[in-house]
């Protein structure tokens, strides 16, 4: 490892990052990370284009840090939107959850599975048994359904017919598995009607 080579390349690499739009402090951090990586990866000899290698690694480190910082800021902004601590609201949001789980963008089987998981309180294993599918398959289906509705606003009313259709499908699924989904569908429908 040629320390003198790294020391001579550092200003040029830093200049490239700053020219590309990185602020000085972030560029300096990224270059330092690239130098550490170079020491780790180049134990014997440097690559054919050491400056190009350092620029590439430093730029990628800068982009990674920028993305991580943006993600952290988004999470912090969401925290700012959280309600102040205090007594829980007296409004029951369960009905809104029905509409979210039965969102029209979901396939019927995904809507049923998500409703059973979120509103019905069934485990993924119980839902998988009712559908006669492996638990991992059901976990993926529920996960995809959650991702699909993650951007949907909770306070937007949905379509009652969709919710009723999902409950009907839950009731029909009740005859095919070990879990008594028919009774669960009746319970959820009564809760919806209340």
Q: Over its length of 194 residues, how does the chain's per-residue pLDDT go in tens digits?
A: 578 888 889 999 999 998 898 888 899 999 999 999 998 988 777 788 999 999 999 999 999 999 999 988 888 877 766 666 666 556 556 677 878 888 888 888 888 888 888 877 788 988 888 788 999 999 999 999 998 888 777 666 566 777 787 777 777 766 665 556 677 777 777 877 77
In sequence order, the 6+-apart residues with CB closer than 8 A to the CB of 69 are none
In whole angstroms, give the CA distance from residue 71 to residue 29.
19
In whole angstroms, give the CA distance from residue 137 to residue 120.
19
Task: Return the pLDDT at 190.
Answer: 81
- Asked if residue 86 belongs to a domain, the reply is no
Last residue within a domain, chosen from 37, 53, 81: 81
User: What is the maximal distance between C-alpha atoms in the chain?
Assistant: 77
Please give the structure tokens belonging to residue 1. Answer: 């490892």
- Asked if residue 89 belongs to a domain, the reply is no
Q: Which domain holds residue 171?
A: 94-193
- Give, as one character, the DSSP assignment of residue 88: P
- Asked if residue 87 belongs to a domain, the reply is no
Last residue within a domain, chosen from 58, 81, 104: 81
Is residue 186 domain-shared with residue 104, that is, in the same domain? yes
Is residue 127 domain-shared with residue 36, that is, in the same domain? no
Rounded to an integer, what is the distance from CA 55 to the centroid of its chain?
31
Task: Return the pLDDT at 139.
Answer: 94
Is residue 27 domain-shared with residue 48, that is, in the same domain? yes
Task: Return the pLDDT at 93.
Answer: 66
- Asked if residue 131 belongs to a domain, the reply is yes
Q: Which residue has the tokens 């369960």?
A: 94
Q: For the chain, where are the E strands, in sequence order?
A: none
Is residue 122 domain-shared with residue 165, that is, in the same domain? yes
Task: Return the pLDDT at 89.
Answer: 58
Cβ atoms of 100 and 152 closer than 8 Å: yes
Rounded to two decimals, what is the model's pTM? 0.50
Is residue 101 domain-shared with residue 177, that is, in the same domain? yes
Is residue 70 domain-shared with residue 143, that is, in the same domain? no
In whole angstroms, give the CA distance from residue 91 to residue 173.
31
pLDDT tens track for 2-47: 788 888 899 999 999 988 988 888 999 999 999 999 989 887 777 8
In whole angstroms, give the CA distance from residue 175 to residue 154.
32
């Amino acid at each position: 490892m040629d320390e003198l080579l790294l020391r001579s390349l550092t200003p040029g690499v830093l200049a490239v990052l700053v020219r590309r739009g990185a602020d000085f402090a972030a560029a300096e951090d990224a270059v330092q990370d690239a130098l550490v990586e170079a020491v780790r990866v180049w134990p014997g000899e440097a690559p054919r284009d050491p400056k190009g290698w350092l620029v590439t690694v430093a730029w990628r480190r800068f982009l990674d840090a920028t993305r991580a910082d943006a993600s952290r800021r988004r999470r912090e902004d969401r925290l700012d939107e959280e309600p102040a601590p205090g007594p829980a609201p007296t409004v029951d949001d369960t009905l809104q959850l029905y509409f979210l789980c039965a969102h029209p963008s979901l396939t019927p089987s995904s809507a049923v599975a998500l409703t059973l998981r979120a509103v019905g309180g069934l485990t993924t294993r119980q839902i998988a048994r009712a559908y006669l599918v492996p638990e991992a398959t059901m976990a993926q289906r529920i996960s995809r359904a959650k991702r699909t509705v993650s951007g949907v606003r909770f306070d937007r009313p949905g379509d009652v017919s969709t919710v009723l259709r999902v409950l009907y499908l839950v009731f029909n699924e009740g005859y095919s598995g070990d879990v008594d989904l028919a009774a669960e569908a009746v319970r959820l429908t009564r809760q919806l009607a209340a």
